[in-house]
Amino acid sequence: MAKQFHPKVSLISINGDHVRYVPGPLAEALVRGGNATVVAGGGKVRSVTLAPMRAVRIGDPNPNPNLSVRFTRWVVLEKSACRIVEHHPRCLF
């Protein structure tokens, strides 16, 4: 039987800290993809624990300790004065 997910699901890190709230369909996709596990409980799923992951840093570290891993970087386009923001796929969940 498939689990029912609450509309607002809490993401818990592997050390037990609350990370953020995400929509139920996103939490269900994380569980289905093997990136999270359901926290035991009856009724609708209200929290999931993230699996250990290794994200690759694509930019220089930020001096602010709260924002130490960047998932975006500015890229200057060749032969123009334009620049774009390149996103790491993980930040687009």
Per-residue pLDDT tens for 32-68?
888 888 987 778 888 999 888 665 555 565 566 555 5
Q: How high does pLDDT run on average in the chain?
A: 78
- Number of neighbouring beta carbons within 10 Å of residue 56: 9
* Total-model pTM: 0.55
Does 16 score more than 80 pLDDT?
A: yes
pLDDT confidence band for 1 (50 / 70 / 90): very low
Tell me, what's the pLDDT at 8?
92
Does 18 score more than 80 pLDDT?
A: yes
- Number of neighbouring beta carbons within 10 Å of residue 48: 22
- Give percent of the chain with pLDDT exceeding 90: 4
Does 69 score more than 60 pLDDT?
A: no
